[in-house]
Amino acid sequence: MDVVPADWVPALTRARDEEGFTYFDWLTGVDQLDAAESPGIDVVVHLWSVDRRAHLLLRTRAPAEDLTLPTATGVFAGASWHERETYEMFGVVFAGHPHLVPLLLPDGFEGHPLRKDFVLAARAAKAWPGAKEPGESDSDVGPGSAAAPARRKTRPPGVPDPEAWGPRSEPLQ
């Protein structure tokens, strides 16, 4: 069920109190910043009704120009950890959260690594896994191998030069 950001907490409260979805399962973000219409970060919550053995997904979109939503911790205390993770990984600020501080990343880390515009350091530091054609793996080269000379190595799409990684300076095309 999609709800507008202003109805986020009332919709969660209604789902818990009136519809019986009393079990909070998880909350996460989905990067929609490159969406042509209304870019932002989707925040999705999965709830479960033990009595009805049914589930409910609630989704809202925090607009790109203001990635802020009211906290759900007043409705489901278990949302606290999930909101901290979504704040850290996607940059969504949950207004009114009792302790919205980084949770997983090292101190001083810059950027939001689960956004599409963030270049992962692992792809900059380590070659893309697997050989595409016979003769392209590292084990095929060296003394005594009959492998053909290596071709120019290329990086997969989206993998930056190993010297540059982190938040991109220009948006995705």
**pLDDT tens by residue, 107-120:** 888 899 999 888 87
Domain 5-95, CATH homologous superfamily name and number: NADH:ubiquinone oxidoreductase Nqo5 subunit (3.30.460.80)
Domain boundaries, the chain: 5-95, 117-137+151-173
DSSP assignment of the chain equals -B--GGGHHHHHHHHHHTS---EEEEEEEEEETT-SSS-EEEEEEEEEETTTTEEEEEEEEEETT--EEE-STTT-TTHHHHHHHHHHHH--EEET-TT----SSPTT--S-TTSTTEEPHHHHHSPPSS-SSTT-SGGG-STT--PPPPPPP-PPTT---TT--EE-SS---
pLDDT digits (tens, 9 = 90+) for 45-59: 999 999 999 999 999
Mean pLDDT of the chain: 84
